[in-house]
Amino acid sequence: MTFCAQYMRQVAGLIQSIDPVAFEAATALLRRAGGAKVMLAGNGASAAIASHIAVDLTKISGIRAMTFNEPDLITCFANDFGYEHWVAKALEHYADAGDAVVLISSSGRSPNIVNAAAQARTMGLPLLTLSGFAPDNPLRAAGAVNLWVNSDRYNLVEVTHQAWLVAMVDALAGVVMDASA
């Protein structure tokens, strides 16, 4: 079997491994924030995924969404509060009652994202977490809904997170699936 075929088989298996009950719970969590906003955060590729999903939630699903990916915000808050606290402080400054939070970390161990999860809980904000790597990672334990990828390879975890979140956007938008596909 070629590398491409093996890789795509592994990606497809990971994407299909989502628990349908957890998918519905995650989608419902985002839907309930429809009258408020969804705030998404991650590092690196997870930040890029957060940006993509924030735009799609707003444009396709009609749910206001935002990220904290502005360099001036990141560097200001990281400088003033420490890198491990900047996302938590952003939530503290930007979150309103009724908002929902989506935190993405492949390893589930990024201190700034784990601390943001604690802040979201302290503020009573509904929290969806996406992680991978170890099944006992701290982010996985933090969310009201947790989606975990059983892989320790960044690219596989990230592409799976992306697929799951895009599927939620389409579910929220009422996209009808072609039964013949």
Rounded Cα gap, residues 86 and 79, in angstroms: 8
Instruction: Determine the Cα–Cα distance for residues 50 and 33; give it in Å rounded to an integer.
Output: 16
pLDDT in tens, the chain (181 residues): 899 999 999 999 999 999 999 999 999 999 998 789 999 999 999 999 999 999 999 999 999 999 999 999 999 999 999 999 999 999 999 999 999 999 999 999 999 999 999 999 999 999 999 999 999 999 999 999 999 999 999 999 999 999 999 999 999 999 887 766 6
Cβ-contact 84, 112 below 8 angstroms: yes
**Helices and strands in the chain: count of H runs, count of E runs:** 7, 5
Q: What is the CATH number of domain 3-173?
A: 3.40.50.10490
Q: What residue ranges do the domains of the chain occupy?
A: 3-173
- Long-range interactions of 17-22: CB distance < 8 A, separation 24+: 17/149, 17/150, 18/147, 18/164, 19/147, 22/145, 22/146, 22/147
